[in-house]
Amino acid sequence: MSIESLDPDDVDAADILGSAIERREDPALITGEAEYTDDIQLPEMLHMAILRSQHGHAEISDVDTGAAEEMDGVVAVYTHDDVADEAVSRDGSLLIPTGWLLDSLRQVDHPVLAKDKVRYQGDAIAVVVAEDRYVAHDATNAIDVDYERLDASADPDAALDGEAGQLHDDAEGNVAFDWEIGDEERTEEAFDDAAHTVSLDLENQLLIANAMEPRAAVADYHPGTDELDVFMTSQNPHLHRLLMSGVIGHPEHKLRVKAPDVGGGFGCKIHHYADEALVALVARDLERPVKWTSTRTEGYKTDAPGRGHVTTAELAMDDDGNITGLRVDTKANLGAYLSTFAPAVPTYLYGTLLSGQYDIPAIHASVTGAYTNVPPVDAYRGAGRPEASFLVERLASLGAREAGIDPAEFRKKNFVPDNAFPYQTQVAVEYDSGEYGKPMEKALETVDYDAFRERQEEAREEGRYLGIGFSCYIEACGLAPSELAGQLGAQAGLWESSLVRFHPSGTVTAFCGTSGHGQGHGTTYAQIVANELGIPYEDVEVVEGDTDEIPQGMGTYGSRSAAVGGSALVKSSQKLVEKAREIAAHQLEADPADVEFEGGEFGVSGTDRSLGIKEIAQQSYLAHDMPDDMEPGLEATSFYDPDNFVFPFGTHVAVVEVDPESGEIEFENYVAVDDVGNQINPKIVEGQIHGGVAQGIGQALYEGAVYDGNAQLLTGSMQDYAVPKSLHIPDMETESTVTPCPHNPLGVKGVGEAGTIAAPQAVVNAVTDALEPFGVDTVEMPMTAERVWNAVNEQATADGGDAADATDADTATDADADTGGEN
Amino acid sequence: MFPDEFDYHEAESVSEAVDLLEAHAMEETELLAGGHSLLPAMKTGLSSPDVLIDISGVDELRGVSVDGDTLSVGAMTRYSEVLDDDAAHEHAPALTAAIEQLGDRQVRNRGTVGGNLSHADPASDLPGPALVSDATLVVHGPDGERSVPAEEFFFGMYATDIGPSELLVRVELPSADGAVGTYAKKPSPASGYPMVGVSALVATDGDAVSSVRVAANGVMDHGVRLEPVEDALTGETLGDDAIEAAASYAADDLDEAMMMDDLQASAAFRAQLLEVYTKRALQDASERVSASAAAD
Amino acid sequence: MAEHDITLTVNGTEHELEVESRTLLVHALRDELGYTGTNVGCETSTCGACTVHLDGDAVKSCTLLAVQADGATVDTVEGLADHGEFHPIQTGFQEEHGLQCGYCTPGMMMTATDLLEENPDPSREEIREGLEGNLCRCTGYQNIVNAVENAAETMGSGAVADGGSVEELAGGDACASDPNAGAETTDRCEVRWPDEGESE
Amino acid sequence: MEFSGTFELEGSSVEEVWLALSDPVLVEQSLPGCQFLVEVDDPDPDFDALREETADREVELTGDPEVIAERAFEEENHYAALMQISVGPVNPTFETVVTIDDRDYPKMSAVGEGSSSNSSFEMSSGMTLSETDGGTAVDWETEADVFGKVAQMGQRVVNPVANRVVKRFFSSVEDKLDEQRLSDADVEGDGAESGGTESDRGLVDRVLGRSNDSD
């Protein structure tokens, strides 16, 4: 069940790719040697603190910073007008940009410091810079703000209905965009002709990423050269450099963004926030290093939350239970302003995945984006795809129940058939490869499904409620190609860049434009490059996350690093090998076409003459004997732009027992069978699945940002927002199948988000399966004990029965189980 | 993350602590014990006292001792120290059962029994055990010591019978004398504090329940005895039927309108949990009674 | 502003420093003394990232005033390895892939060593209970539990096989032979290893 | 959030209770944590100045309706209060301004706003008095919104604390009425309940908050 990790020294060079070797990142991380942003201490460094709004929505009539400025240890206080001074802002926009546009998008200004209005509690009103953290904090408390409170709402439905008042002059009715995908007419016909339909109203709640390391930045300005260094918790330093240069008016080539060790991201460190730009701005203005570290409660109010959908979804089926149509209407919460990738998440990352693993002939989805008084909403692990997968898989379970077919059978009969790949969905994307039955069969075998249904029946007779839930998810990662992304509204290309450089002594540094934050890129990239170059793994060092070291890059998010970054490294390695081949051919006096490369050796076919690649590297720098017109040195840079997304898939199964009396849910088993294509390091793949599933279970059972009617966050600390603890997450069984990606050189598909995409609906389906005898077909997430208990009670009340009376329910169960069957 | 400024004084003795309290009577003054309720409140800006008087190092306030039939727990005794003490398990099983489930490992290493009881958070774990153990809380002030029965100690949310210049010095628990103590708790998944925590102390004579005391934390604004449950169970045979019947009375004397009602659980659900967890606390007691009978 | 002169013995080294009343121990360790291996993840004493050993017990250093720790012995993640030799808990985390971003890991390991000192052979359930005061957002905890089991096994089996020699187990004889080893060093060794009597 | 409840004051007539609840001094002294409660002209008063002004003022409880009439709450007037809400170690002090919305015997309603350094609240309250067997029942309801730190961190205590403040307030009013009754026993006849001449009538109406046309 658990993959055993290997010491890299015990792995043959030829086997390094695909081996579950231990991570080389770990020694620094387990000894305290790692350097996270807040660990950086610079001479003369100042500390910044930010005063944020007390209200979800308010006009600001006055900001009095007098008392704060007079405090001992306070160096400067800035309000909007102070930073707008040209001497401070240069020609910066001081507006946070949006990196994805839609035709119907109503863009709104997002100032780094609120000018005269605040639109969510995290909106920054003033910053204080002081000699230490404590004093900076004290001074924010001494700033006096006069607010005129306005109506506010955290709910997209309410905001669209006008209950939040108007957030922005440029977005009438708080509508950020209207978007649709699929064929409305054909879908309507499918529903008209359907033998069975099911409908589901659901809320995919707002989640807060809760990376263990809060966001932080340290900026250091060098007046002599006008160079500005920004160290920050970033998933994509190059993108931050690009965006920040415009915001603060600093030339991109004089701005360095470096991500030191980063303590998790889960999406919330992709986006460009006002805070980090303010750190850079004030450090440049004061000509002293400045540090800002978010407190956790500050993070709850400012880190971009994810999800936030209110949806109605319907499924049409024919008489035999074949899915014939899917219709979706979603109100998506975008928060107070548009975050970096916000418009893409509830549209192209969501609507395009609505076919799931199924061959659905007609699909239509419409999405309305709403401005509300919560922090700007953006990608959180999975970003759009969990929302799609959740509703498809909830409908599959409800559809199976409606059609009277076993839920596993129902799925199998509707899968895209193996021979249909590449499969063109009705929602724009083309699935690259898949064999959806494989993980399903493996999962059924692992949980011993037939035996489970028997056990379930026996248990119900004893008044115990077991349930099983399936999730056959699809995910799309490595968003690509750039041309397509551009057509869809992306304001950036979605390639990845790398540089592979031999040193004269034969070791290699591989640079990649991705920026890992816990994924183990240092290990997996070295496995890739060592394999390509045929050199020992320990001879390859990987460098990421620093705009001064790496030419260009797009960062780490959307499970793209292996598929796109890894492929870029392959491409650079191959370029390098080609150059080395020519040098080898020259020195071996052979035709390059006759020189074969294998296991790090260039050999002339049919002879025993050969040269090792390390030898060639040395020769390339000596440059004593090179082919005509060839430059010395041995390195290669490449930009890899994939042909398509990659589409990992799998089946997750949750087995739970629900206590209707207390509403408590216990896991009996959790099985994850994932097909993420080829695996570079199975141990790391397994770890990604574990962590992803835990976050999915978190969404299913524990997590959710709760706001009151004034858009005041009520779950604003770790005492109130339940980040799952060790006792909340079950041991999981992880298995995999391998269907290589056909269009990238590694055949990899991406694994970072799979678990999070798969898990919630597996758990919800299991709980509703367990509570079927009570007539419960849905429970909103997070399925707290109270919600489960309420669901049981409400249903019992509706039936005129007694919730706690399990005996009556048992009778109903038996009857239903007979028709439900195990066929 | 950053407490506001304050003056810190470390008391070496109970009398010094009382002197300090009196000397700073005109300022906002807090006693610092384990600090696990106070410091988080200060760090998040909810609390900003002018003066902290640290009593955690006062030796006379630390330790567990037995005097005749009474177990005495010094107010500054850490949870982990109570759990390490065999006499505490023997004489105050309801207390140790609750402490085992209190907070987390680090909190138990640092938090104190007296800090918990003085703080009187409605969701503390220890008021229930204090009530079922019929504990006496000994408070020291300018006029010396006075004893307050647990029943009279808790006034309401964060409010106790400790006066402005007084501090809790120890808790005295009459020996359980062989009774079985249990604690069944439904923790908030976020904070770990009980939405409902039920403490039970059950003594049997043969199969029959000779005495039973049950109390709940987290349900009302302070710990409460569940007398209808006790009445229903006393004299009955300790088995599933009697337990189920008794637990059904758990909320009978409680005004649902005054029950804790928050994001973690509504009052109605708390009432439901109270019944379920009363049952579990008593079932656990029943199992322990059977187990010890079998062992005999 | 009330200032206090305090003494902290961190990983065996004595430091004298001046702190404000309100300075939290974790900030004294990180900002004043440079022990940045101990991380801060919240301000509600929930996440456990800041866990250190205070006089041998795992505590959350964000929930203690530095002045309260005056005169105490503090052990942090930086003191776990001994002259480059990993502590079994560190090896356990590496071998079992018990960490991803690593931010929670120092606190997680400090709690785990405290747990193993009390219970050298915990069940998976006991490990999960023991670590409930430490949040991890990356691993889903499964490999952390494996890591603690791994460490327990190493420590337990080593103790049995070698007759329980603490010095040998520590990967050297640092504890016994270090001429400067005071009480703190001995403490550290005790924290790491079950007593001979308990190891069976 | 909304709170409501009924509080019964034993042994006091509706008019006595009304008189008491019309008196800012009695209210100030009955409200837990209230450091002062004074009428102000400016709906956005300078609290620092008020702190100084009220530091050594002398106000006394009285049962004398004439004195109360002079200082009784009036519709549309503003009152500034400094309120320390004490919840365990959490003791925020709110600078509060209350405006009487409506005061028509036996009903009164008011709106208020309070702010501390990192939190604020808004409330709108109403109460109606009615006669019961043994005294007077006060039916009260409050709709309150809390903002900032207290909303974020103190959510679970807001409700019980509000209940406690109300409970302690009315208990204190009850005690003060009892005390007053004892001390006024010898000046029987001056009380509001004695009715009186036509000119007295105006006074009583003023104290009782009866509008002219409601008689």
- Best of A3, A212, A294 to disrupt the C interface by mutation (most C CBs within 10 Å)? A212
Residue contact B158–D87, C-beta within 8 A: yes
* Mean per-residue pLDDT, A672-676: 97
The confidence band for B156, taking pLDDT boundaries of 50, 70 and 90, is confident
CATH number at residue C14: 3.10.20.30
Please name the CATH architecture into which domain A495-640 falls.
2-Layer Sandwich (3.30)
Q: Are residues B270 and B239 in the same domain?
A: yes
**Vertex A631, ends A630 and A633: CA angle to 5°?**
125
Residue A818 has pLDDT above 80, yes or no: no
Rounded Cα gap, residues B77 and B75, in angstroms: 6
| Domain that includes residue D109, residue range | 2-53+61-187+196-209
Whole-number pLDDT of residue C196: 35
CATH number at residue C184: 1.10.150.120
Residues of A in contact with B189 (CB under 8 A): 701-702, 722, 724-725, 728
Which residues, numbered 97 to 136 in chain A, qualify as contacts with chain C under a Cβ-Cβ cut-off of 8 Å? 132-134
Q: Are residues B186 and B259 in the same domain?
A: yes
* C65 close to B (CB below 8 A): yes
Residue contact A141–D146, C-beta within 8 A: no
Scanning A479-550, the segments in alpha helix (DSSP H) are 482-488, 521-533
Q: Are residues C115 and C68 in the same domain?
A: no
> Could you report the per-residue pLDDT of A249-274, keeping only the tens digit for each?
999 999 999 999 999 999 999 999 99
Whole-number pLDDT of residue D66: 82
b (16+ CB within 10 A) / e for B59-93: eebbebeeeeeebbbbbbbbbbbbbebeebbebbb
**Adjacent-strand bridge partners of A601:** A598, A612
Residues of A in contact with B44 (CB under 8 A): 297, 717
Q: Are residues B185 and B166 in the same domain?
A: no
Residue contact D152–A714, C-beta within 8 A: yes
Those residues whose C-beta lies under 8 Å from the C-beta of residue A578, and which sit 6 or more positions away, are: none
Rounded Cα gap, residues A629 and A600, in angstroms: 25
The count of structural domains within chain B is 3
Residues of A in contact with C93 (CB under 8 A): 26, 30
Do residues B44 and A717 touch, judged by C-beta distance below 8 A? yes
The count of structural domains within chain D is 1
Whole-number pLDDT of residue B257: 79
Q: Are residues C9 and C66 in the same domain?
A: yes
In A318-412 the beta strands, taken as DSSP E runs, fall at: 323-335, 363-371
Number of H helices, E strands in chain D: 7, 7
Q: Are residues C93 and C182 in the same domain?
A: yes
Residue D124 DSSP one-character state: E
* B106 close to C (CB below 8 A): yes
Whole-number pLDDT of residue B236: 96
Whole-number pLDDT of residue C158: 57
Q: Are residues C10 and C48 in the same domain?
A: yes
Do residues A480 and A488 touch, judged by C-beta distance below 8 A? no
The confidence band for A108, taking pLDDT boundaries of 50, 70 and 90, is very high
Nearest Cα residue in chain C from B3: C22
Percent of chain D with pLDDT over 90: 35
Helix, strand or coil, per DSSP, at residue B74:
strand
Q: Are residues C154 and C61 in the same domain?
A: no
Q: How far is the CA of B97 from the CAs of A83, A391, A395, B289, C60, in angstroms? A: 58, 44, 45, 15, 23
Residue contact B156–D89, C-beta within 8 A: no
| Domain that includes residue C119, residue range | 88-198
Among C22, C39, C100, the residue with its CB nearest the CB of A691 is: C100
Give B32→chain C minimum CA distance, Å: 10
**Closest C-alpha to A23, from C152, C150, C169, C90:** C90
Percent of chain D with pLDDT over 70: 83
CATH class for the domain made up of A306-479+644-818:
alpha beta
Q: Is residue D214, in this structure, part of any structural domain at all? A: no
Residue A814 has pLDDT above 70, yes or no: no
Rounded Cα gap, residues B217 and B196, in angstroms: 6
* B1 close to C (CB below 8 A): yes
Give A134→chain B minimum CA distance, Å: 6
Residue contact A212–C101, C-beta within 8 A: yes
> Could you report the per-residue pLDDT of C75-125, keeping only the tens digit for each?
999 999 998 899 999 999 999 999 999 999 999 999 999 999 999 999 999
Across A1-15, A434-448, A569-583, B193-207, least confident range: A1-15
Nearest Cα residue in chain A from C146: A2
Q: What is the DSSP string of D128-183?
A: EEEE-SSEEEEEEEEEEEEEEHHHHH-HHHHHHHHHHHHHHHHHHHHHHHHHHHHH
Across A60-69, B154-163, C73-82, C133-142, least confident range: B154-163
**Closest C-alpha to A722, from C137, B98, B268:** C137
Residue contact D152–A713, C-beta within 8 A: yes
> Could you report the per-residue pLDDT of A686-720, keeping only the tens digit for each?
999 999 999 999 999 999 999 999 999 999 999 99
Domain endpoint, select from C41, C56, C79 = C79
The confidence band for A479, taking pLDDT boundaries of 50, 70 and 90, is confident
**Adjacent-strand bridge partners of D66:** none
Give B2→chain C minimum CA distance, Å: 8
Residue A568 has pLDDT above 50, yes or no: yes
**Adjacent-strand bridge partners of D78:** D40, D99
> Could you report the per-residue pLDDT of B160-181, keeping only the tens digit for each?
999 999 999 999 999 999 999 9
- Spell out the domain ranges in chain A: 38-150+214-262+269-302, 306-479+644-818, 495-640
Give B205→chain C minimum CA distance, Å: 34
Nearest Cα residue in chain B from A295: B1
Nearest Cα residue in chain A from D113: A149
* Mean pLDDT, all residues of chain D: 82
The confidence band for A109, taking pLDDT boundaries of 50, 70 and 90, is very high
Query: Which CATH number is associated with domain A38-150+214-262+269-302?
Result: 3.90.1170.50
Residue D153 has pLDDT above 50, yes or no: yes
Residue C167 has pLDDT above 50, yes or no: no
Residue A775 has pLDDT above 70, yes or no: yes
Q: Are residues B34 and B80 in the same domain?
A: no
Residue contact C59–B109, C-beta within 8 A: yes
> Could you report the per-residue pLDDT of D154-208, keeping only the tens digit for each?
767 777 778 778 888 888 988 888 887 766 655 444 444 444 444 454 555 655 6
Whole-number pLDDT of residue A1: 57
* Mean per-residue pLDDT, A3-23: 94
Q: Is residue D215, in this structure, part of any structural domain at all? A: no
In the sheet where A610-612 sits, what is the strand order? A595-598, A601-604, A610-612
Among C2, C67, C111, the residue with its CB nearest the CB of B105 is: C111
Residue contact D91–B37, C-beta within 8 A: no
Phi-psi region of A239 (alpha: psi -120 to 50; beta: other; left: phi over 0): alpha
* Mean per-residue pLDDT, C44-55: 97
Q: What is the DSSP string of C80-103?
A: TSBTTBPPHHHHHHHHTT--SS-S
> Could you report the per-residue pLDDT of B78-118, keeping only the tens digit for each?
999 999 999 999 999 999 999 999 999 999 999 999 999 99
Token pair, residue B168, equals: 């809790």
Which residues, numbered 26 to 45 in chain A, qualify as contacts with chain C under a Cβ-Cβ cut-off of 8 Å? 26-36, 38-39, 41
The count of structural domains within chain C is 2
Nearest Cα residue in chain B from A702: B189
Residue contact D89–B44, C-beta within 8 A: no
Do residues C12 and C182 touch, judged by C-beta distance below 8 A? yes
Whole-number pLDDT of residue C189: 35
Chains that touch C (3 or more CB pairs under 8 A): A, B
Residue contact A137–B266, C-beta within 8 A: no
Whole-number pLDDT of residue A717: 93
Residue contact D147–A714, C-beta within 8 A: no
Whole-number pLDDT of residue A819: 34
Among B44, B186, B272, the residue with its CB nearest the CB of A717 is: B44
Chain B with chain C: Cβ pairs closer than 8 A: 91
Q: Is residue B2, in this structure, part of any structural domain at all? A: no
Whole-number pLDDT of residue C200: 31
Element of type H or E holding D82: strand D78-84
| Domain that includes residue B47, residue range | 7-54
b (16+ CB within 10 A) / e for A565-589: bbbbbbbbbbebbebbbbbbbbbbe
Residues of A in contact with B45 (CB under 8 A): 141
The confidence band for C42, taking pLDDT boundaries of 50, 70 and 90, is very high
The confidence band for B41, taking pLDDT boundaries of 50, 70 and 90, is confident
**Closest C-alpha to C96, from C45, C139, C160:** C139
- Best of B39, B266, B269, B279 to disrupt the A interface by mutation (most A CBs within 10 Å)? B269
Residue A171 has pLDDT above 60, yes or no: yes
Whole-number pLDDT of residue D208: 60
Q: Are residues B234 and B286 in the same domain?
A: yes
Token pair, residue D7, equals: 């509080």
* Mean pLDDT, all residues of chain A: 95
Q: Is residue D165, in this structure, part of any structural domain at all? A: yes
Give A390→chain B minimum CA distance, Å: 23
Scanning A37-91, the segments in alpha helix (DSSP H) are 66-69, 80-84, 86-89
Q: Is residue B95, in this structure, part of any structural domain at all? A: yes
Token pair, residue D57, equals: 């003022």
CATH number at residue D30: 3.30.530.20
Q: Are residues C70 and C92 in the same domain?
A: no
Rounded Cα gap, residues B183 and B199, in angstroms: 4
Q: Are residues C29 and C125 in the same domain?
A: no
Percent of chain B with pLDDT over 70: 100
b (16+ CB within 10 A) / e for B255-291: eeebbbbbbbbbbbbbbbbbbbbbbbbbbbbbebbee
